[in-house]
Structure 1
Amino acid sequence: MALSAAQGANNASGSVTTWGQGGNMAQVNIAISDQSTTVAPAAVFLKAVAGGGFNTGTAPAGTPYDPTWHEITYIWTVKTGPAMSFERAPFLNMPPEWKAAGLYYGPEVAIVFDQPGTYDIELYAVDQFGNDGMTTTTVVVANADGRFPGTDTICYSQTDFNGAPAGATQVTSFAALSSAIANKAGGDVRVLFRAGNDFRSAITSQINLT
């Protein structure tokens, strides 16, 4: 993009880098947290990994500065899947377009999927020179009741187990909860706490001063 200006007898000319236009195709990948037991509601952590094709600076020797974190813009979009109910309304002075559920920014994001289903996520990355890349990934979120039958569920309440899944282990103390988890021999287990109950556990610690 060429720029020229004239005022009276004084002329100036030069060039201006156009942000986000005229760049080359670059490569970006997605690193995703372990999904071996992704059940709703599920928090999934995603990280952008910039590959070749981006034009970024070089970190000064001996510094932890990563130019791919600071000189590339990352935009994440949940393209398909069940409607997401999360809204960012409590944050003040946030641009309206940033409040939309399913839209995220930055090299690392954490997305909460509160409903089971298959979600397609798109990542778009662009540097200040317009070099950009795009990639997608899929997150499958299972239904908790299907993933954890009653026999793999522990319900904790002081007195009320109404509505507990059939076959679930029922406990009334943290000691009993710890024992019930140990009895599962390291297998995956779901623990449900009764809504409205107060759960407290005493912790004893010792500090030695020398």
Structure 2
Amino acid sequence: MTVYHQNDPIMAELRSLLVSPPVQKIQFRFGTFQLLSLDFRHLAQRLADPSSRVSILVDPSALKANVLAKYKPAINQFVFASDTVMRTPRGRGIVVHESVHAIFDLRDSISMDLAEESITFLAEAWYCVEIGAEADFLAHEAHRILDIAKAVRARGRSTIPEVTLSERIELRRIVRKRYDYSPGLSRRGGGFK
């Protein structure tokens, strides 16, 4: 088990991912929530700020089997299965997913669990489309999420695209059914500390 902080190379690798061109193309509106490329840049800046107390824990025993990463909002911590998670397209996609959870935390948002999880999966799928790693996403996740990400991305060539109501409903249904998320409300613990 190793904990990494602002000046460690793995944290720099995370910041680089967040400001990379593929991640900077991810932006959409999902109901009242708007995810912008600026959010990823803001998160990268906060990860460089020593006062934010955000860390990365590398500890495979802290994760369920076959889980590469997660974000723990209560303690502002990313948990990675290994220090090489971000060296594969699949790993980077999952880290983008978990970074969206961190963006919710950074905003100190109250969110519906299914909506938040739908947004994170959509961002992960969009990233995989941007880097040409659809097969990596499809090997583990629902095909329809990737289809929706492609459709939303195609609508956003010059504007911030809206995820349609029918797409939002379908994403929630997939997340609830396939990933066993139940409806509920998440209240943050005061945002980034």
Could you tell me the TM-score, scaled by structure 1's length?
0.20
Kindly indicate whether structure 1 or structure 2 has the higher relative contact order, using CA contacts under 8 Å at least 6 residues apart: 2
The structure richer in helix per residue is: 2
Could you tell me the TM-score, scaled by structure 2's length?
0.21
Rg larger for: 1
The structure richer in strand per residue is: 1
